[in-house]
Amino acid sequence: MFLLTLVVVGCALTTSLALPFLDVRDTQPTSTVDLGYSRYQGTLLNSGISQYLGMRYASAPLGQNRFRAPQPPQNTNTTQIAQAFKPICLGTNAGLPSSQSEDCLFVNVWAPSAATPASKLPVWVFIQGGGYVSNSNANFNGSTVVDKSGHSIVFVNFNYRVGAFGFLSSEKVRENGDLNVGLLDQRMLLHWVQQHIAQFGGDPDHVVIHGVSAGGGSIALQLTAYGGRDDGLFVGAIGESPFFPTQPQVSELEWQFDRYLNATGCSYTYGGSADETLGCLRSQSTATLQAANVASPYPGQVASPLFYFTPSIDGDFIRDYPYNLFDQGRFVHIPVMFGDDTNEGASFAANAATPNDLAVFFKNNYPQLTSADTDSINAEYPLMATLPNHAAYFPSASAAYGETTFTCPGIFMSLALAQYNDPYHVWNYRYNVLDAHNVAGGIGVPHTFELPAVFGLGNTNNNPASSYSTYNAEIIPVVMQYWISFVKELSPNPYKDPSAPRWESMGAGAGSSLRRLVLQTNATAIEIIPNDQLERCLFWKSLAVRMEQ
C-alpha cells in the first residue's frame, strides 16, 4: 500500500467551438501519405510543416457501431483531401450544431515536411478535455510547437466520443456493446499512432501522451488501463489539471440508462433483452439520441451535476477507482509531468453564500457524500477572504472543488509515480500567471489558463487573454519549451528556454520536501508544496472511495 501519509509527516473545460487560426497562406499540397486503408493529401504550410486534418482513425460510429468499441477505418479507393478540420463529437446539452456530428472520429497531424519514416521523431499526442461531456479543446493548431521544436517532433490531436455517445453505462450496454467507448476511442488512436505515425516521420517507440482537464484525467485512465498493463503505446505522459469526477460502478447508473431509454422512445424495451434494447437505440436518428443527451440531477439531489456522463468502473479497462489503482502501483511506470492552476475551482464552483450552499453543490456533483462529509468539508474550508463579484462562501467552494477534483489528484499521482517508479522522473508544477482581468473578476488563475502558453497564441479554440500579448508574453516560450523538451527527452530541462530555471524533480520519501515549479511571468521558481495543502489532500483521499474517484 502506498503510504502517502509519510510524505505529509515529512481540470477547458471550456465549451467554445471556435476554430483556431491556421497558417494556410501557401496551400500547395504535400506529398500524399498512404496509410493502407486510405491515401490523404495534406497542406504544406509556409513554415515547412505538413498539416493533415480530418483523417479517419476509425470507422464512423453510426448504426450498428453505436455504443461499441471503435472499429478499424474502412478502405477507400480515392485520395482523400485532408485540408480542413472535420466535425467534433456531439456533446451533452449541445443540441445539433453544424460543428458537431456523431461521425467524428478524426485525427490531425502536423509534421516537418522533410521528415521521412527514417526520421524517427518524437511524437506528441494531445488528448483534449471537456469533462467527458464535450470536445472542448478540439482542433488546436500544432504547427507552432512543431516549429518551435526545431522541426524535431510530430504533433497529433483527435476527437473521441463523449456524453451519451461515449459513456452510456448499463449492464445491457456491456452485454450488447461496450462500456467507456470514449476511452476506447483514445486507445484506438494510440494503436493508430503505433501503426501509422512512421509515415509522417514519427517514432512509434517514442510517444508522449498529453492531456488537459478530462484529457488529463484520461491520462490517468490510460496509465491504469487494464490494471496498469503496459501495451507499449507511450513512454511518457503530461497531465494538466487532471480531472477526477465521480466515476460510479455500472450498477449505479441504471437509472441514467433508463432515463435515456425513456427520452429516446425506447422505454418499451425496459424488460426486454439487451439485443432488443440496444437495437432500439441503434435504430434511432442522431437527432433523437442527441435530444436525450442532456443532464439531470442524480437521484435525491436538487440540481444537475457539472458533468453528467463520466467513465464508469467496468471491471476491464477501468478495474477500480483511480485513487486505488495509483495507491496500489497498478499503472504504467514512465516519466511524467503533472500540475494544475492556482485557482482550479473558480470556473466551476457554485457562488455559495452559506455553508449549506457549499454542501448542496458538493452533493450535486459527488452524490455519495453524506451530511457528515459535507460538514467536514466546510470545516476544512471555512469562510475565507472575499473575492470580487462573488458571494461570501464562493472562495471556500472554489478552493474545495479545485483541490478535490484537480489539484490533489495531480499531486497524488505524482507521489505514486515517485514511490513506485522513480522520484527523479516526476515533475510537478503550479501555474500562477496573473491576469488583471481574471483577478478583477475574482477567479484568480483559473482552470486551463496555461493553454495559450503551451501551444502559442492563435492556436487554441479560445481567444487568449490579452495579457499574453503584453505583460505575460514572456511566459509563453518558458512554458512551451518545457513541454517540448519533455516530449523530446522525457525531461523538461534539456531544451528549456535559456531564461527558465532548471525544473527540479518532485522528490519523495518520508520526511522529504516535495518540490514543484511555480510558473509565473519573470518569476518562475521552485517551491515546496505546503504541508497544509498536503494535509487537505489527505483529507480528500480519505473521502476518495465514497466520492468514487
Q: Looking at the annotation, which residues are catalytic?
A: 213
Cell 443532464, residue located: 295
C-alpha cell at 422: 522513480
Question: Can you tell me the distance from the alpha carbon of 170 to that of 174, in angstroms, rounded to the nearest whole number?
Answer: 6
In the block, cell 492552476 appears at: 341
Given the DSSP bridges, would you call strands 39-41 and 43-44 parallel, antiparallel or unpaired?
Answer: unpaired
Residues 11 and 124: their CA atoms lie apart, in Å, by 20
Task: Name the amino acid, one letter, at 383.
Answer: L
What residues contact residue 166 under an 8 Å CB cut-off, 6+ apart?
89, 132, 160, 180, 181, 182, 185, 309
Contact 517, 503 (CB under 8 A): yes
Count of other CB atoms within 10 angstroms of residue 315: 12
The CA distance from 542 to 538, in Å, is 6
Which residue type occupies 464?
P
Nearest to 126 by CA among 189, 196, 33: 189
388 contact partners, CB below 8 Å, separation of at least 6: 440, 441, 442
* Calpha distance 391→350 (Å, rounded): 9
Place of cell 519573470: 522
The answer to whether 507 and 514 are in contact (CB under 8 A) is yes
All three cell numbers of 237, joined, read: 505522459
Region for residue 205 given its phi and psi (left: phi exceeds 0; alpha: psi -120 to 50; beta: otherwise): alpha
155 DSSP β-pair partners: 110, 124
β 154-158/106-112 pair status: antiparallel
405 Rama sector, left if φ>0, alpha if ψ -120 to 50, beta otherwise = alpha
Query: Which residue is associated with the grid cell 480530418?
Result: 54
SS3 200: helix
Rounded Cα–Cα distance for residues 377 and 366 (Å):
12
Q: Which residues contact 523 (CB under 8 A, 6 or more apart)?
A: none
Evaluate whether 168 touches 274 at the Cβ level (below 8 Å).
no
Which residues, 6+ apart, have CB-to-CB distance to 506 below 8 Å? 414, 415, 418, 423, 426, 427, 428, 514, 515, 516
